[in-house]
Chain A
Amino acid sequence: MSLHDQDDPALRAAQEDRLRAVWKPPQGLFLRWTDTNNNRVGVWYVLTAFGFMLFAGVLALIMRTQLAVPDNDLVSANSFNQLFTLHGSMMMFLFAVPMFEAVSIILLPQLLGARDLPFPRLSAFGYWSFLIGGVFVSGSIFFNAAPDGGWFMYPPLTTRTDLSGLGADIWMLGLSFIEVSSVAAAVELIVGVLKCRPPGMRLNLMPLYAWYILVVAVMILFAFPPLIAGDILFEMERLLDWPFFDANRGGDPLLWQHLFWIFGHPEVYIIFLPSIALFAMLVPTFANRHLLGYPWIVLAAVGTAFLSFGLWVHHMFTTGLPKISLAFFSAASEAVAIPTGVQIFVFIATLWAGRVTWSTPLLYATGSLAIFVIGGLTGVMVAVAPFDWQAHDSYFIVAHLHYVLIGGTLMPLFAGLYYYWPLITGKKLSDRLGRIAFWMLFAGANLTFFPMHLSGLMGMPRRVFTYPAELGLGGLNLMSTAGAYLFAAGVAVICVDLALSPRRAKAPRNPWNAGTLEWLAHPDDEDWGIRSVPLVESRYPIWDQPDFVRKVDEGRFFLPDAEEGRRETIVTTVLDARPLAVIRLGTPSVKPMLTAIALGGVFIFTTYHLYWAALACGIATLACTLWWLWTGTAEIPEKPCKPIGHGLELPLYLSGPAAPGWWAMFITMMADATAFSGLVFGYFFFWTRHADFPPATMADGPGILWPMVALAVGVIGWLATIGARDIHARGGVAAARILLLLGITHSIVGVGAGLAGPWTSGLDPQAHSYPAIVWTLAIWTSAHAGVAAIMQGYALARSLAGKMNPDHDADLRNVSIYMHFYALSAVVTYATIGLFPEVA
């Protein structure tokens, strides 16, 4: 299709009809919920997270009411424990993290000029997982069964079943489920940023929001899995009495603190960076100029991401670790102020150099930076270990973290809300109500949290349900409570503003006169995402490229049609965004929802110790996943290539490192490997904690024989799969099938051989942390052997069913990625449990 063709209005109308038909959302009372289009799933996601935020905010108000006066008895100590635990857990896991994912699911395809993200069904799966897990966790408070051990759930308080009830299991299993959905979102967002950019959008032209999202999604891959590993150990202790955290039997509660905070500190940046990313989009718009120092923002995002993994022990300064260790973490905690400061100065410099339009979103942005900087300064204070020893677990910390989170996450999200509302709904929010709400929020936040610095320094510990009048803290607490109500009233004004929105008239297109791609969205938006995928030559194409909007709208760029009636988007190269292929996207389907329900059943039934039901749900999850993959992925196209305009013809099938699916597999396995390294860390952590490890009574551990057998069959299974992949690519289909069969056999043998070591040597996992961690590593790797057998079987079945051939071998290549990681786990596990006792 040449440029010339698009001059014909009839052709354009026909193209639009086809696109409209292809992207038509499913109708009907139930079917509408099977939608997978990012603009719908993203909105559900945002609304759900916003709802959880309001719920958790009400919990905070109840707490502040209880603390308004000394010796108050509005709620009992037990209820108060549930309130603060659920408030913290919900704000972190059900609001801040999902909100970033939700906003990104809406914005990213628009920013990248893509029709949708590469795996729309995965987004839907993530949403349904989030909804089920979130309702399960937050609903528990109505049954007086909410978790009550604080949002970081320190053992032994939480692992001893006589000290904490069902709430701890609800927290652990409910939030594990949500962690799965976060990893799913991370996969989606990384592949989206790296592979679905429009032609011409090289790395140096990427909107900074996309840079931040890439960095944050990678952080999720390395931060969440250690918590998943911790959750596994935690539930093994609670459900099976394996003593990982029980000091009487060789366990150590500090292991939980390490695993939790290896997650918990990067987590702070995981929720801060995407919010600050919104500034990187709105500051240039309202400064009416390009953002200054683009590479400095990249420095700040990447630098913060790395440094944030060297901070976790600053939450553990009072646990008695060697001072030299504390000093390393203190140093890194001070260093992270550098990149954080850099990005704030970039925004200030851009505003300084531009002609500033003082809009409501910019008011929120500047106000939140002011609040954030105060939190940052107290952060530098508590990063100094001797100061932290004084302030630890006092209200000073509560003040610090709320300044950081309100200034660094909540208020920037409100800035984003006012900025992007016209993009989502086509209507602007009220400037008047927005400004009133801003001043209420700004004053309320300072009135609530500034006095907490003082009450903390005067000795008020966090998490107490009341305090005696003699301490003289009544006045400060009353101020905090008044501030909290003012803040809540500010949020209520925003809710009123949102509620009035449907009655308002539509705003013009691109109402802020911004320069980035997302503002191509039309007030009466179509579901197709973008009319044609543009050729991008600037960081601000709407400002810089002549006739850009008209050319996009008239379909003069790429992929202006949907001739074959399929949902499609363009895949490009990672560095330079050269067009590689057109991929067919997942259409609305009930499969993601069913998979999420089945997986939710696994976690929920396990909470109530209904193991048979949980097992049935596990099998259902596997069945749903296979059904989803079999019917929806790596489909062999009806023709090898299709034209996308301007004489360009792109293939319709990709396999190997060019393909989004390959990247998704690789990224998922990175997360898997990180969780595994958390377990291995546990093993060596116990080794450092004990003079004799393994203990003298079980010095032989699982023996050498079986671990070495398991290692050998694991490696053979891996080699067979790699061989199958290479021979298959050269046309040896029959030989590849035989090799896959060989691989399956070895993987199945690997399951038994892995467990045989601890089993035959009679290691009792309830006796001591050593046998418990050996069993855990063996079970982990054996389970991976089982999954390997299923995957190899899947590839074999695809080949036999004619859905995979030497020219279309994505399935086998993706299975190979899994096998690399499986082989690596086998080597590490069996060398550790089999050989390390010999040298220790």
Chain B
Amino acid sequence: MTDRGKWHERLKVTLWTLIVPPAIWAGHFLMAYLWAAISCAKVGAFATFPTLFVVGTIIALTLIALSGWIAWKQTHRPGDSAPHQDSTDIDRLRFLAKSTLLLAGLSFVGVIFTALPVVFLRNCL
């Protein structure tokens, strides 16, 4: 590692990284919807073990967990304690990191919510 710190500390949270976890939720949701809609319309049923869906869900959960972990690391950068309400670089960074972490939590739960129906439902009727 360079003298500028570990790789996850060199990444900088911005408005774009803030929306990474929910965007992954959205991507997973879209995949779930399209997968069901297309396989039901074109095949009439989906495979008994939906490998693609399971892999997609695991990838989504991993990516959300990773972005949450990076955000968690960044909230622990040295600086003032919460509520991060000063006009300083470190407070702005830690605020965005905290928000990203919270969104990662919500998105993680959201992906699990979306994945659950497949445990119980396996047909197109």
Give the distance to chain B from A113, nearest Cβ to Cβ, in Å: 13
Q: Are A338 and B96 in contact (CB under 8 A)?
A: no
State which size class the interface on B falls in.
35 or more
Name the CB-closest residue of A to B93: A204
Q: Are B19 and A302 in contact (CB under 8 A)?
A: yes
B90-125 contacts to A (CB < 8 Å):
91-92, 95-96, 98-99, 102-103, 106-107, 109-110, 113-114, 116-118, 120-125
Alpha-carbon separation in the docked complex, A539 to B33 (Å): 41
Name the CB-closest residue of B to A200: B87
Q: Are A310 and B121 in contact (CB under 8 A)?
A: no
State which size class the interface on A falls in.
35 or more
Contact (A324, B36) CB under 8 Å given A204-B84, A295-B102, A299-B103? yes
Chain A contacts for B102, CB-based, 8 A: 295-296, 298-299
Q: Are B25 and A575 in contact (CB under 8 A)?
A: no
Name the CB-closest residue of A to B117: A327
Query: Interface with A: B1-9, B37-45, B59-67, which one?
Result: B37-45
Chain B contacts for A202, CB-based, 8 A: 87, 91-92
Asked if A332 CB lies within 8 Å of chain B CBs, one says yes
Asked if A730 CB lies within 8 Å of chain B CBs, one says no
Name the CB-closest residue of B to A294: B83
Q: Are A295 and B95 in contact (CB under 8 A)?
A: yes
Chain A contacts for B68, CB-based, 8 A: none
**Contact for B96 among A203, A331, A539, CB less than 8 A:** A203
Interface bits A321-334 vs B (CB < 8 Å: 1, else 0): 11111011111101
Chain B contacts for A201, CB-based, 8 A: 87
Q: Are A327 and B121 in contact (CB under 8 A)?
A: yes
Chain B contacts for A576, CB-based, 8 A: 89, 92
Give the distance to chain B from A383, nearest Cβ to Cβ, in Å: 11
Alpha-carbon separation in the docked complex, A328 to B34 (Å): 11
Asked if A7 CB lies within 8 Å of chain B CBs, one says no
Alpha-carbon separation in the docked complex, A689 to B42 (Å): 8
Chain B contacts for A205, CB-based, 8 A: 85, 87
- Residue from the set A296, A330, A332 with the largest chain B CB neighbour count within 10 Å: A332
Chain B contacts for A307, CB-based, 8 A: 22, 25, 110
A534-550 contacts to B (CB < 8 Å):
536-539
Asked if B29 CB lies within 8 Å of chain A CBs, one says yes
State the main secondary structure of chain A at its contact with B: helix
Chain B contacts for A338, CB-based, 8 A: 106, 109
Asked if B58 CB lies within 8 Å of chain A CBs, one says no
Contact (A204, B19) CB under 8 Å given A324-B117, A538-B85? no
Asked if B18 CB lies within 8 Å of chain A CBs, one says yes
Name the CB-closest residue of A to B41: A688
Interface bits A518-542 vs B (CB < 8 Å: 1, else 0): 0000000000000000001111000
Chain B contacts for A306, CB-based, 8 A: 19, 22-23, 25-26, 107
Q: Are B36 and A335 in contact (CB under 8 A)?
A: no
Alpha-carbon separation in the docked complex, A688 to B117 (Å): 22
Chain A contacts for B15, CB-based, 8 A: 203, 574-575
Alpha-carbon separation in the docked complex, A575 to B93 (Å): 10
Q: Are B106 and A303 in contact (CB under 8 A)?
A: yes
Give the distance to chain B from A321, nearest Cβ to Cβ, in Å: 8
Chain A contacts for B40, CB-based, 8 A: 322, 324-325
Beyond A294-B84, A322-B40, A335-B110: 8 further Cβ-contacts under 8 Å? A200-B87, A203-B96, A295-B102, A307-B22, A325-B37, A332-B110, A575-B15, A688-B38
Q: Report which B residues bind A (CB closer than 8 A).
A: 14-15, 18-19, 22-23, 25-26, 29, 32-33, 36-38, 40-42, 46, 83-87, 89, 91-92, 95-96, 98-99, 102-103, 106-107, 109-110, 113-114, 116-118, 120-125
Q: Which 3 A-B pairs have the closest CB atoms?
A: A327-B117, A204-B95, A306-B22
List 15 A-B pairs, Cβ < 8 Å. Answer: A200-B87, A294-B83, A294-B85, A295-B102, A299-B99, A302-B99, A306-B22, A322-B36, A324-B46, A324-B122, A327-B117, A328-B33, A330-B117, A538-B87, A688-B37
Q: Report which A residues bind B (CB closer than 8 A).
A: 200-205, 290, 294-296, 298-299, 302-303, 305-307, 309-310, 321-325, 327-332, 334-335, 338-339, 536-539, 574-576, 688-689
